[in-house]
């Protein structure tokens, strides 16, 4: 089931009544109710929004990701459940105790799928995606020779032009990419907790200041889906993070992605991917399940 995403930009008060979120417009009698079981994400952008603790607890119990934005309206932090899976303790133990050999094999798969999706996206857009084939067909365990970085240099130049540089604080459409990736990261973290995994224990990403390194790991092959959406927006002249542009970027959570036998919305696909990762940790499977563009 596809969950709703609530994007809150006006000063409102959020509270709980009868297992529903009550959205009360400040200085008005207007109230809107939303069933919490239908919500997947709540994005709080306006600093004047107030929210009650009982509502936060109810959202967490239903594995709803609550995302808080900074003063630039960029996603900055999120609230996630740490008890959203019946066998979570067992999964945590399996996750924490995996061997370095398995980590390197899993990271090899992540990078193969990421570069392959980059290649497929370039081909889909009428560009030279086949030039990336030597990179995703020669990834070593742990990507020890940095095929990811080598492929990225060619990928970005081919996708957005030879003058483009992928930098977090760089010129547009870097701002659009940043926002799209932030949404993808939040969705991935939510899917991981739903599969009984700790987002704070990564496979490759290990920065001590990073609270969700596993989300950063697992989302890598999904990044080209964001890239495609940003490419279309940028081609149509969008360079600023307006309300409409953000709304367009939210569509990434609901776009169809294709597995070998089924097509699913990206939000659902992430759960399939994270569930397969949990099975890999347990030794039940050897491969992470990822979609291809």
Q: pLDDT, tens digit, for every residue of 145-158?
A: 999 999 999 999 99
User: For the domain with range 88-282, which CATH number is right: 3.40.50.10540, 3.30.1360.170, 1.20.120.920, 1.20.140.10?
Assistant: 1.20.120.920
pTM of the model: 0.86
Regarding the domain delimited by 4-79, which CATH topology (the fold level of the hierarchy) does it fall under?
Answer: Ribosomal Protein L15; Chain: K; domain 2 (3.100.10)
Q: How many CB atoms sit inside 10 A of residue 116's CB?
A: 23
pLDDT tens, 237-268? 999 999 899 989 988 998 999 998 899 999 99
What residue segments make up the domains of the chain, in order of their start? 4-79, 88-282
**pLDDT of res. 62:** 87
Respond yes or no on whether the N-terminal peptide bond of residue 173 is cis (omega within 30° of 0): yes
Lowest mean pLDDT among 1-5, 11-15, 33-37, 245-249: 1-5
What is the chain's mean pLDDT, rounded? Answer: 90
pLDDT tens, 225-238? 999 999 999 999 99
Query: How far is the first Cα of the chain from the last one, in angstroms, to the nearest whole number?
Result: 22
| Per-residue 3-state assignment (H helix, E strand, C coil) for the chain | CCCEEEEECCCEEEEEECCEEEEEECCCCCEEEEEHHHEEEEEECCCCCEECHHHHHHHHHCCCEEEEECCCCCEEEEECCCCCCCCHHHHHHHHHCCCHHHHHHHHHHHHHHHHHHHHHHHHHCCCCHHHHHHHHCCCCHHHCCCHHHHHHHHHHHHHHCCCCCCCCCCCCCHHHHHHHHHHHHHHHHHHHHHCCCCCCCCCCCCCCCCCCHHHHHHCHHHHHHHHHHHHHHHHCCCCCCCHHHHHHHHHHHCCEEECCCCEEEHHHHHHHHHHHHHHHHHCCCCCCCCCEC
**pLDDT of res. 208:** 53
The answer, yes or no, to whether residue 209 has pLDDT greater than 60, is: no
Both tokens of 197, joined, read 């995994």
């Amino acid at each position: 089931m596809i969950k709703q995403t609530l994007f809150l930009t006006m000063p409102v008060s959020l509270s709980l009544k009868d297992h529903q979120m009550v959205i009360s417009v400040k200085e008005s009698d207007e109230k809107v109710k939303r069933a919490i079981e239908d919500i997947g994400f709540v994005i709080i952008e306006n600093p004047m929004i107030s929210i009650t603790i009982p509502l936060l607890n109810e959202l967490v119990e239903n594995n709803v990701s609550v995302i808080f934005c900074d003063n630039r309206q960029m996603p900055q932090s999120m609230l996630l459940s740490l008890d959203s899976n019946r066998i979570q303790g067992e999964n945590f133990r399996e996750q924490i105790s995996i061997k370095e050999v398995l980590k390197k094999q899993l990271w090899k798969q992540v990078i193969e799928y990421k570069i392959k999706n980059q290649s497929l996206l370039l081909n889909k857009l009428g560009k030279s995606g086949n030039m990336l084939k030597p990179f995703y067909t020669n990834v070593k365990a742990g990507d020890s020779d940095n095929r990811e970085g080598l492929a990225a240099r060619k990928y970005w130049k081919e996708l957005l032009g030879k003058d483009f540089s992928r930098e977090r604080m760089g010129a547009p459409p870097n701002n659009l990419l940043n926002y799209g990736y932030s949404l993808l990261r939040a969705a991935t973290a939510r899917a991981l907790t739903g599969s009984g995994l700790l987002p704070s224990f990564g496979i490759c990403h290990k920065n001590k200041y990073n609270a969700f390194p596993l989300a950063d790991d697992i989302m890598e092959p999904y990044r080209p889906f964001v890239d495609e959406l940003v490419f279309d927006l940028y081609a149509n002249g969008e360079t600023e993070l307006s309300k409409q542009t953000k709304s367009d970027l939210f569509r990434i959570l609901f776009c169809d992605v294709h597995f070998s036998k089924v097509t699913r919305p990206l939000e659902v696909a992430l759960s399939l991917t994270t569930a397969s990762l949990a099975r890999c940790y347990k030794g039940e499977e050897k491969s992470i399940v990822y979609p291809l563009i």
